[in-house]
Chains A and B, each alone.
Chain A
Amino acid sequence: MADSLLKRVANGDGGAIKEVMDQFGGLVWSLARRSCYNPADAEDATQEIFLDIWKSASRYDESKGSETLFVAMIARRRLIDRIRRQGREPYMDDIDEPGFELASNTQNEGETFTEAALAAKAVATLKPAQQRVLELGLLQGLSHSEIADVTGMPLGTVKTQMRRGLIRVRELMQVGEVTDLGESS
């Protein structure tokens, strides 16, 4: 069985670098753009993220998810770190951007990101309040306290809804229930 792309990177396969850039460049850049104030900041973040990817490639475990998911997870962690390091408020310009409902159309440069589609379908089964806090926290990048301000929920409720929502989404994705929730492709 052929090695995964990230394994090839970890093994020092120079050709794999360009393939990683082809496959995940747009994904990382788009996540950075959504999180950062300006393009220059997003460029710095993207460079940091890819350095992390090179360093972490050997830790990729395909039994735990796709390479796209692994890359997205590293990207999010780095972006969260940057926000905390800069001590700034999350970027909120896209507060009215569409939410999880676009997930079924999410493409990763030709590859359908299955986990994203499943996650979105799982979110659709949650209570509206949980959907809302997850959307604000994960798509818009708001902190718990900011979500409390936006929604009018008490902070404790936000945290509870967020935690329960994430736990529920995780459960649904793992037991495969969401594949029966209208999976059409």
Chain B
Amino acid sequence: MAARLPEDGRLCDLLATRAIEGLSPAEQDELNDLTANYPDLDPDEFDRVAASLAVSGLRLEPMPAALRARIEADAEAFFGRAGAAPPEAVVTRFPARPRPAAATTTAWGGWLAAAAALVIAVTGWLQVERLDSERSELAARQAGLESAVVRLERTLAEKDAELAARRDPAPGQLLAALEARPGTRVMAWSATDDPAAQGAGGAVIWNDAEQSGLMRFRGLAANDPATVQYQLWIFDAERDDRFPVDGGVFDVLPGEVETLVPIKARLPVGEPVLFAITVEAAGGVVVSSRERIALVAQPEA
């Protein structure tokens, strides 16, 4: 049996409060001072009682498998480093992951860069000579930070995808919506001599008022996104034709019979006079050399 609690109301109050909702730093200091007067006191008793009650009535849910895998990886990292692992090796344990490529990722880039910098800073800190126990503790914290960064990247990628899905309707929905709106124009593509466009056709569907449009292709050659991508340019009568509006990059996948691509104009388009598809290096370009123009479409005069 545990010893009876001392007749100290303030001590009991603090222990109970800690078990229920935690203590402020000042309260924790006070508790530390009080418990020092009772060397036989088991300060965790209230926490155990509270934990017993918190678990009673708990509806157990199975842990998600992906989470379990991450925790087991954390454990491997923690115990793997708790020994004599050199701190310099820590960073290499988590392979670099590709940054989320969704549209809003750049908005988070600064934050992630700061987080990554923090990881690097911790790594540098680890390089300072320290006692083994301290080093292990820091390595575990770093593992937690690295893991948190990876999780945040994953979460941000998911949120980006969710936001993009909300912001951008599916191409089929967009097409139907555009066709139902007044002022929507359909402009047929004309293929050039570029090998990618042999036998290609389709149309641009564009609505000036909505500043929204969609491209439809048939027969446009599939591209290897790792090397080249298609890019749309919109020539605007209200802009210098040396600097057409970037309408976004896109891919044509092998085996696609028809490709629908929403137009993502980076700038407002006043009076479109020409839509042109160029073949560019992967990722697209800011200013096209116009060496490979595959398709063009013009509004009827």
**A contacts, CB < 8 Å to B:** 12, 14, 17-18, 21, 25-31, 33-34, 39-40, 43-44, 46-48, 50-51, 54-55, 64-65, 68-69, 72-73, 75-77, 80-81, 83-84, 97-103, 106-109, 113, 115-120, 123, 134, 137-139, 143-144, 159, 162-163, 166-167, 169-170, 173-175
Give the docked Cα–Cα distance between A117 and B58 (Å).
Answer: 11
Q: Which of A27, A44, A98, A173 contacts B148 (CB 8 A)?
A: A44
Verify A72–B54 contact, CB threshold 8 A. yes
* Chain B interface residue count, Cβ-Cβ cutoff 8 angstroms: 52
Q: Which residues of chain B are within 8 angstroms of A26 by Cβ–Cβ distance?
A: 60-63
User: Would you list which residues of chain B between 237 and 261 have a CB under 8 Å from chain A?
Assistant: none
Write out, one digit per residue, whether chain B residues 1-44 have a CB within 8 A of any chain A CB (1) or not (0).
Answer: 11001000000110011011110000000000000000000101
Verify A69–B74 contact, CB threshold 8 A. no
B50 within 8 A of A: yes
Give the docked Cα–Cα distance between A173 and B268 (Å).
Answer: 72
Verify A117–B56 contact, CB threshold 8 A. yes
Q: Which residues of chain A are within 8 angstroms of B52 by Cβ–Cβ distance?
A: 69, 72, 113, 115-116, 118-119, 173
B48 within 8 A of A: yes
Which of A27, A28, A50, A102 neighbours the largest number of chain B CB atoms within 10 Å of its CB? A50
Verify B147–A47 contact, CB threshold 8 A. yes
Q: Which residues of chain B are within 8 angstroms of A80 by Cβ–Cβ distance?
A: 21-22
Q: How far is the CB of B17 from chain A (nearest CB, A)?
A: 7
Q: Which residues of chain A are within 8 angstroms of B13 by Cβ–Cβ distance?
A: 159, 163
Write out, one digit per residue, whether chain B residues 195-233 have a CB within 8 A of any chain A CB (1) or not (0).
Answer: 000000000000000000000000000000000000000
Q: How many A-B residue pairs have CB under 8 A?
A: 194
Interface of A is mostly: helix
Q: How far is the CB of B153 from chain A (nearest CB, A)?
A: 12
Verify A69–B48 contact, CB threshold 8 A. yes
Verify B1–A138 contact, CB threshold 8 A. no
7 closest A-B pairs by beta carbon, nearest first, are A103-B56, A119-B52, A102-B57, A29-B63, A116-B56, A72-B51, A25-B63
Which A-chain residue is minimally distant from B66 (CB atoms)? A43
Q: Which residues of chain B are within 8 angstroms of A25 by Cβ–Cβ distance?
A: 62-63, 68, 71
Give the docked Cα–Cα distance between A96 and B197 (Å).
Answer: 64
Give the docked Cα–Cα distance between A97 and B59 (Å).
Answer: 10
Which A-chain residue is minimally distant from B82 (CB atoms)? A12
Write out, one digit per residue, whether chain B residues 112-149 have a CB within 8 A of any chain A CB (1) or not (0).
Answer: 00000000000000000000000001001001100110
Which B-chain residue is minimally distant from A33 (CB atoms)? B61
Write out, one digit per residue, whether chain B residues 62-91 have a CB within 8 A of any chain A CB (1) or not (0).
Answer: 111001101110111011001000000000
Q: Which residues of chain A are within 8 angstroms of B54 by Cβ–Cβ distance?
A: 31, 72, 76, 138-139
Q: Which of B46, B50, B55, B82 contacts A106 (CB 8 A)?
A: B55
Q: Which of A27, A73, A84 contacts B47 (CB 8 A)?
A: A73
